Amino acid sequence: MKQFRKMVYPYLLWSTVVIAVPMLLILLYAFTSGGNSVSKFMFSLGNFKRFLTDKTFLEVLYRSLRIAIETTVVCVLLGYPAAYIIAKYSEKVKMRWVLIITLPTWINMLVRTYAWTGILQEDGVINSFLGLFGIGPVAFMYTDFAVILGMVYNFLPFMIIQIYTSLTKMDYSLIEAAGDLGASPRKCFTKVTLPLSMPGVISGITLVFLPSVSSFCIPRMLGGGSYVMVGTIIESQFLTAGDWNFGSAISLIMAIIIMISMYITKKVDKGEKMEAVNA
């Protein structure tokens, strides 16, 4: 037991350095003003007031939440059928499909996102194809569509894998029992399969929504320089404007929103489990 504790110490030290210390610095900067110099810090809530009372910033927050929710919904609608179909195959075919789905994630996200600029631009692949039918060019780039498409492409594998894992761990004898008791395939799915797979759906929603709401590279590359989301504002405040206090306040607001969303999804997950047990 003592040897095990000694092995944990390096990980605790590393976690403290890379997680706890940055979070404490964000808290310090968020609740202070006076620039980036520690010696000039003064306690202030002005950074939060500035964000929450400025109509422009609130519109950016609304856009970020809307884009993240739309991305998550699309990933669920596409990911669940894909995971459900894959789970029906033999073990060998399952592994092959899992490899195909996860293979794009081996490539850097910036490279994958940049590839979409060549596909969606006015002289890109899609518009060249539409031009054969006398259509276009259609303005795909620098729109909500392009941003959502880029996020769905990058985050969809996380949704599929989570739901697939949940489906493969499910006890299929319950479905057989439901069928023996006279339940139709549709009822078996809605009353047995779907409730039992909800933990995977909830995990997938968490893994898609969290990076979507705070993403800045995808909106910048596919939405253009004028397309602003919360992640873009945070990046600009730290790297361009040099206002670490305001950037930290926005980061803290987003962290609170993310924690609230995680709490809600956890409550929903517990409710679904209870319904499955009662069913």
Query: Tell me, what's the pLDDT at 271?
Result: 61
CA 166 to chain CA mean position, Å: 18
Using 50, 70 and 90 to split pLDDT, how confident is the model at 45? confident
> For residue 33, what are the β-bridge partners?
42
Query: Please, are residues 230 and 60 in contact by the beta-carbon 8 Å criterion?
Result: yes
> For residue 43, what are the β-bridge partners?
32
Q: Using CA atoms, how far apart are residues 178 and 170, in angstroms rounded to an integer?
A: 14
Arithmetic mean of pLDDT, 248-262:
87
Arithmetic mean of pLDDT, 189-209:
87
Backbone angles phi, psi at 42, to 5 degrees: -135, 135
Q: Using CA atoms, how far apart are residues 110 and 221, in angstroms rounded to an integer?
A: 9
Using 50, 70 and 90 to split pLDDT, how confident is the model at 127? confident
For 136, the token pair is: 């276009």
Query: Tell me, what's the pLDDT at 52?
Result: 87
pLDDT in tens, 70-106: 999 999 999 999 999 998 888 888 899 989 998 888 8
Query: Tell me, what's the pLDDT at 274?
Result: 57
Least confident of 8-12, 143-147, 157-161, 275-279: 275-279
* Coil, strand or helix at 36: coil
Closest CA to 218 of 57, 64, 26, 58: 64
Least confident of 26-30, 119-123, 124-128, 177-181: 177-181
Q: Using CA atoms, how far apart are residues 196 and 121, in angstroms rounded to an integer?
A: 42
DSSP characters over 197-237: HHHHHHHHHHHHHHHHHH--HHHHHHH-TT---HHHHHHHH
Mark out the alpha helices in 109-180 (DSSP H runs). Answer: 109-120, 125-131, 144-168, 173-180
Mark out the alpha helices in 35-120 (DSSP H runs). Answer: 46-53, 55-88, 91-102, 109-120
Tell me which of 205 and 272 has the higher pLDDT: 205
- The mean pLDDT value of the chain amounts to 84
Query: Tell me, what's the pLDDT at 81?
Result: 94
Backbone angles phi, psi at 227, to 5 degrees: -90, 110
Arithmetic mean of pLDDT, 162-183:
82
Arithmetic mean of pLDDT, 220-242:
84
Using 50, 70 and 90 to split pLDDT, how confident is the model at 153? very high
Query: Please, are residues 188 and 155 in contact by the beta-carbon 8 Å criterion?
Result: no
Residue 253 has pLDDT above 60, yes or no: yes
Q: Using CA atoms, how far apart are residues 73 and 112, in angstroms rounded to an integer?
A: 21
Q: Using CA atoms, how far apart are residues 123 and 199, in angstroms rounded to an integer?
A: 43
Arithmetic mean of pLDDT, 228-238:
86
Q: Apex CA 11: angle with CA 6 and CA 15, to 5°?
A: 145
Backbone angles phi, psi at 32, to 5 degrees: -135, 170
With a pLDDT cut of 70, the percent of the chain lying above it is 91
Domains in the chain, CATH or no CATH each: 46-278 (1.10.3720.10)
Query: Tell me, what's the pLDDT at 257?
Result: 85
